[in-house]
Structure 1
Amino acid sequence: MSQLELDLYNDMLRIYKEAEIQCNYKPTRLREMLLNQGGLKTAKKLISKNGGTDGFVRLWECHRLDLSVEALVLNDKYKELFTEEDMNVCRDKLKEYGYEF
């Protein structure tokens, strides 16, 4: 695992903790996936899910899409880990839910 992948993993754990604090939402499935599959595989799996995830909707309801995996994928720091298609999927999904960049 590269340092960049480790940073992604740690940032994903951070958004897990922030969602719990800020939205009273504990995304346990995200944490399980992180522990079992690592950050990059988890992120790719979550962003490729047709129809999105319950966690994304919960964050939208809380007005905290900035804590979504999709927003994290679009962070310039991680652009070399994801394809342009991955980033477009995230960008489109966030726009669809009214996220302002």
Structure 2
Amino acid sequence: MVEMYRRAMSEAGYNATYFLQMLAADGPLVTARRLVMSSKPSDGFTALWERKRLGLTVEAHILQERFADLFTDEERSVARRRLDEYGYRPPLANEV
């Protein structure tokens, strides 16, 4: 998750200070679950959407096969739906 922060900063110019605070306070799994299950997209999600970098969001990472065992079907469904609503289609495993 810290690497996600670094990439958002270096690749999209987004300084996710609050995200880092959440990570420090709650840890990566709780932070990811809290962000994805919120009733509306986070400020970070919106900022990355504005920069056309939704692939750097927590939602996009949750859908990666390597993290499948960490999240429920519902959490993955919410992440997929949110990304769909914003016009993002995560790459297939063979496209990565």
Fold equivalence (TM over 0.5): yes
Q: Secondary structure at the match of 1:45?
A: helix
What does 1:57-72 align with in structure 2 at a 5 Å threshold? 57-72=46-61
Identity %, equivalent residues: 40
Where does the alignment leave 5 or more consecutive residues of structure 2 unmatched?
91-96
Equivalent pairs counted in the alignment come to 90
TM-score (norm 1): 0.86
- Large movers: runs of 4+ above 2 Å: none
Equivalent position to 1:99, from 79, 88, 93: 88
Distance, in Å, in 2 between the alignment partners of 1:34 and 1:97 is 25
Equivalent position to 2:18, from 29, 36, 57: 29
Q: CA RMSD in A?
A: 0.8
For residues 24-45 of structure 1, the C-alpha deviation after alignment (integer angstroms, 9 at most, x for no partner) is 1100111111111110000001
Where does the alignment leave 5 or more consecutive residues of structure 1 unmatched?
1-11
TM-score (norm 2): 0.90
Distance, in Å, in 2 between the alignment partners of 1:30 and 1:81 is 19
For residues 30-80 of structure 1, the C-alpha deviation after alignment (integer angstroms, 9 at most, x for no partner) is 111111111000000111111111110100111111100000111111111
Match of 2:30 in 1: 41
